[in-house]
Structure 1
Amino acid sequence: MQLSEIKNLKIAVVGAGYGGAAAAKALSLLGAQVDVYEQASRIGEVGAGIGLRPSTMNRFRAWGIFDAIAGVSSPSDYFEILSATGDPIMKEAWPAAGEQAHTHLIHRGDFIDALLGVLPEGMVHLGHRLESLQDRGDRSVLTFAGGKAVEADLVVGADGIKSVVRRQLFSERDPVFSGEHAYRTVIPVDAAHGMVVDDNLRMYIGRGTKIYLLPLRHRGQVSFDVTALNPDGTWAPRVTRDDLLATVAGFDERLVNIARDLDMDTVNVRAVYDIDPVDTWHTDSVVLVGDAAHSMLHHQGQGANSAIEDGGALADALRDADSVKEALALYQATRKPVTDELQRISRQGWTEEEISDVFPGQKPAAAAPKE
């Protein structure tokens, strides 16, 4: 599209998470009129670490925000997989992308703060919970709790795994329980019992349990994450210290000691869900990005990275296509094959034997790889 056409576009982004903030930044750089509507009254991410891949950091460099992200992250050279007791299984350098050879490890809260911090003042509107969306072809009307209505030429649904935009226009299927729990917290490096000596991610694999140590040494911390098979699909299950210690039994005693020392009030406990692939991500004036389009399990560490790539690909498509309608089709054609495959691979986190230990006599579709 001509830049003059893009500058006349009124774009409403629903959701101020990674995908929404990234899409807003990329689209605003094209000159579009962008407003972001977030249901929360304040922005905050539960403390845990993630890795931003080289291709993601390339996007940030292209958008002129690399320094803002790099300033609150640590570059990592490689990731390592070890047995529960610390025997090496695999060690690989992060896949390079152009001039970027490092994955940057970052605290989720620092990441969203940095992303929102590079958006123009007044672009993000908090306390706007979407209630309904009317797709009228070449434009849409969004109605928020309290009655406020907004018209837009393009609506970007970036409202997460429970997306209202997705449920109203694209798929009413519920999120899918994976058959696992995630327990996440951030501790001081000094509390890691000497296990964090550099800036590289390590994963320890036991039967039905994985422990991730993700250093955040730029802030003197480490993200301690446990993923374990568990049949309880309650969104926020209750887990005691004894439960956690039973889960990590048999691991390196230093990892067990980390778990034993935790303040359980600081541990984020959740059942892990994703969604089945959505057949269509767009109409002529509404499109999905990030978890709203393709929420995936965290085994590949690609959820946030995929959301950022979505935002960049959407802006690229608007720039390269002749109309909004064509741009949305191009965006889906570019991104959906990639995320469909990532969703598929991410569901292959456990062996059938591990699953049968937790789900005796059955191979639950939610916990097993799906075709």
Structure 2
Amino acid sequence: MKSIIVGGGIAGLATAIGLHNKGFDTAVYEAAPAFTPAGAGILLAPNGMEVLKRTNLDLFHRVQQLGNQITRLQVVTHTHKKLAGADFKTGNLCYAIHRAALIGALAEQLPPEALHTHKRFEKFTEGSSGIKVSFEDGSQASGDFLVATDGIHSRVRGQLLGKLPYRYAQQTCWRAIVPFKLPQGYQHTFTEMWGNEPGLRVGFGAIDDEHIYFFATYFTSAGGKDDPKSLKQDLLSIYKDFPPLVLDFIKTAQVANILRNDIYDLNPGSQWHRGRVALVGDAAHATTPNMGQGGNQALESAWVLAECMAKVVQQPQRLTTGFAQYQQQRLKKAHKVVKDSWRISRLVNLKSGIARGVRNLAMQYMPPRLAEANMEKVYALEYDF
């Protein structure tokens, strides 16, 4: 059987690897001229790392080589008062890695002839014996089923389910990879600092010995644009109350490498497949990045889909059953992550200084075992195939 995958990001490549491992003839079609990531860095949480391990040991070890192990997460105020934190237990591996390195590692696991660029999706046509995908350049691809991994603004999902509502989190986000060496004690810690204004945060961690990944959020209306000439000074002004360390790596960042994106998610929907088409990753369950789970949930969905399709490769009549099992297995957890992440964005956006103070106290006095239990639920791969 042949699978067509539209979208060559983390979700698309991971889905292709999983299906390829199960014996499917798989092809990935990416709109961009190359398999380049739309992002800077990513934190591969224990669930994402475990998915890679179960998918392909060579891939798992390659990511370990390319990334930097994170042994602790901490959330502090901009004055460095502790709000929350957790150490990763033995066996719960977490790595910070450049998205380009991750995409490269994923692509290496697929035959070169399976990867196609300059292929922007136009439409699909479904028949009783297969599906045909048309691209804007006039070319077509035929297969037995289609997996849409083309992100939150999925064109495939638009044709399949119509227009779905996006939710703006009232925050924009700047991200960058910066050549910067963190001080002693920070090398294996990912730190998130919350400021004294709504939506004001900075997160950072090392992705290797010489580079860090940082993100910075800000409460503002959607659609804002940066002036390259003043961007760095604008950021230094917005985050002026943060520690010198933060200001130093902002100063070091190259303006051309600073990405800006407004933060949206999808209001959780309960339909991820229809006919010969299934949705994976942000096309199905786009989430705000507050829990660092966007890419990790995409990896989970890719892996679960492949496991649910294992019998389909020999029994094509089970296609709908495979899709339905995938949705049933993943829906509850993915929705919980989306909802919990959205709640965090609401907490970050509190406008009242008093409310933010109460929030901080509540976070400080939350029993560590409760926070750890919540994290363990996110990291657990509790599926029944």
TM-score bucket (shorter structure): 0.7 to 0.9
Is 1:200 paired with 2:194? no
For residues 352 and 200 of structure 1, the distance between their equivalents in structure 2, rounded to whole angstroms, comes to 23
Contact 2:179–2:253 (8 Å) recurs in 1: no
For residues 56 and 138 of structure 1, the distance between their equivalents in structure 2, rounded to whole angstroms, comes to 35
Q: Which runs of 5+ in 2 are unaligned?
A: 353-385
Q: Normalized against structure 2, the TM-score is what?
A: 0.83
For residues 348 and 269 of structure 2, the distance between their equivalents in structure 1, rounded to whole angstroms, comes to 30
Aligned residue identity for 2:71: D
Of 246, 249, 263, the match for 1:258: 249
Which residue of structure 2 lines up, in the alignment, with residue 74 of structure 1?
68
Aligned-pair distance for 1:187?
A: 1.5
Which residue of structure 2 lines up, in the alignment, with residue 49 of structure 1?
41
Which residue of structure 2 lines up, in the alignment, with residue 181 of structure 1?
172
For residues 324 and 153 of structure 1, the distance between their equivalents in structure 2, rounded to whole angstroms, comes to 9
Of 207, 211, 217, the match for 1:221: 211
Of 143, 146, 154, the match for 2:134: 143
Is 1:39 paired with 2:34? no
What are the superposed Cα offsets for residues 174-202 of structure 1, whole Å, 9 maximum, x if unpaired? 53322111111111233x5x376321111
Contact 1:47–1:186 (8 Å) recurs in 2: no
Q: Normalized against structure 1, the TM-score is what?
A: 0.86
CA-based RMSD of the aligned residues comes to 2.2
Q: 1:352 to 1:72 in 2, by over 3 A?
A: closer
Of 15, 23, 26, the match for 2:15: 23
Q: 1:111 to 1:189 in 2, by over 3 A?
A: same
Contact 1:14–1:37 (8 Å) recurs in 2: yes
What are the superposed Cα offsets for residues 53-107 of structure 1, whole Å, 9 maximum, x if unpaired? 22222222222221221110122211111110112222202366xxx32211111
Which residue of structure 1 lines up, in the alignment, with residue 285 of structure 2?
294
Q: How does 1:307-318 map to 2 (within 5 A)?
A: 307-318=298-309
Contact 2:121–2:135 (8 Å) recurs in 1: yes
Contact 1:189–1:217 (8 Å) recurs in 2: no
Which residue of structure 2 lines up, in the alignment, with residue 5 of structure 1?
none
Contact 2:32–2:118 (8 Å) recurs in 1: yes
Question: Kindly, what percent of the aligned residue pairs are identical?
Answer: 23
Q: How does 1:1-371 map to 2 (within 5 A)?
A: 9-46=1-38, 48-64=40-56, 65-94=59-88, 100-137=91-128, 139-190=130-181, 192=182, 194=183, 197-207=186-196, 208=198, 209-218=200-209, 220-231=210-221, 233-234=222-223, 237-238=226-227, 240-319=231-310, 323-351=318-346, 354-356=349-351
Q: How many residue pairs end up in the alignment?
A: 343
**Greater helix fraction, Structure 1 or Structure 2:** 2
Q: Which runs of 5+ in 1 are unaligned?
A: 1-8, 358-371
Contact 2:232–2:255 (8 Å) recurs in 1: yes
Q: 1:200 to 1:352 in 2, by over 3 A?
A: closer
For residues 351 and 286 of structure 1, the distance between their equivalents in structure 2, rounded to whole angstroms, comes to 34
Contact 2:146–2:277 (8 Å) recurs in 1: yes
Contact 1:131–1:144 (8 Å) recurs in 2: yes
Identify the range of structure 1 (303-312 vs 241-250) with the bigger mean alpha-carbon deviation: 241-250
Q: 1:297 to 1:47 in 2, by over 3 A?
A: closer
- The SS at the match of 2:205 is strand
Q: 1:237 to 1:325 in 2, by over 3 A?
A: farther
